[in-house]
Amino acid sequence: MTTIIDVLKVEHRVFHRLFHQVESLQPRPQSLAEVRQIGRLIEGLLEAHRDTENSLAYRALDHVLAQRGRLDRLYQDHEEIDSRFHKLQSARDLPEAMRLLTEAVAAMRTHFEHEERVDFPLLEQTLMAETIGQLGTAWME
C-alpha cells in the first residue's frame, strides 16, 4: 500500500531532480523571461505538492503540530518560498532573477529535508498506519 509519506517523498525526489536540471542548464538562461518561466514552472508544481501536504498529510496533524509549535513554522516556510517566487516574477533584471530563483530552490531543499527528518516521522508516530495508508489512497484517487 502506498502511504501519503511515500507519495510526498517521491514528489520531493522529483523536485530534487528538477532542481538539478535547472542548475545544470547549458547554456545558462540568457533573459529575464527565461528565468521567470522556469520560476513559474517550479511554482506550478510546488502548488500541487503543497496542496497535497496541506489537504491530506498536515490537516490530519494540525492539532498535534499546533501543540508543539511546529504548525506555524510549516506554514511560514511555505509562505516564504511562495514569496520568493512572487518576487522572482517582478525581478527587474537577470542577475536579480537568478539570485531569487537560487534562493527559492535552496529554501525548498531545506524545507524538504526538514519535512523528511522531522515532520514525516511525526506523521508516522502520531497517525495510525491505516490512516497514513488511506491518505495515500486518497491521493492516488
Domain residue extents for the chain: 4-140
| CA R_g for the chain | 16
pTM for the model: 0.86
Q: What is the pLDDT of residues 63-115, one digit of tens each?
A: 666 666 666 777 788 889 999 999 999 999 999 999 999 999 999 999 999 98
Q: pLDDT value at position 33?
A: 96
pLDDT at residue 116 above 80?
yes
Residue range 19-35: mean pLDDT, rounded = 93
Pairwise CA distance, residues 108 & 59, whole Å = 20
Q: What is the 3-class SS of 16-32, one letter each residue?
A: HHHHHHHHCCCCCCCCH
